[in-house]
Amino acid sequence: LFSRFLTFLTFTLALSRLCERPSKRFITRYSNRKGNAGRPYYKWQPCGKFLCFADHRGNDPNSPPCYCGVSSNRQLAGRETSVPRGVHYVCRLGVCTFYQPHIGGNGGAGHGG
């Protein structure tokens, strides 16, 4: 419970680098076809920039650390991206610009590792 409170506090106090306003919590639409239907997430207001998802999906303490020094979040890219369905890591707090592709055992992009 305390961990969830700290997570909530971190997300709501994080200010956008663009508009310097606090974030606001939303829920993805159930019609979302990217596998995120019903997931809670934060985005900054009024600039509308996505901050991060507000759940623990993809969070693993063994993931590479981001520039903030915390473990990153493993994500699956959408079908319309430059690497469709590619696995990558981003800042789980949504604050820094960390991005790292997941490299699988065969040397290529992994799929969930």
The pLDDT tens digits of the residues spanning 5-64 come to 455 555 555 555 556 677 888 999 999 877 889 999 888 777 777 778 888 888 888 899
In three-state secondary structure terms, 73 is strand
Q: Where is pLDDT greater, at 103 or 29?
A: 29
pLDDT category at 2 given cuts 50, 70, 90 is very low
Handedness of CA 99, 89, 69, 23 (dihedral sign): positive
Tally Cβ neighbours within 10 Å of residue 91.
Answer: 20
Give the per-residue pLDDT at 29.
94
Give the per-residue pLDDT at 82.
66
Alpha-carbon distance 11 to 5, whole Å? 10
DSSP assigned state of 15: B
Give the per-residue pLDDT at 92.
83
* 61-90 pLDDT, tens digit each: 889 999 988 889 888 877 766 666 788 899
Give the per-residue pLDDT at 1.
46
Question: Which phi and psi (to 5°) does residue 3 adopt?
Answer: -60, -45
Give the per-residue pLDDT at 48.
79
Q: What's at 78, amino acid-wise?
A: G
Q: Where is pLDDT greater, at 4 or 1?
A: 4
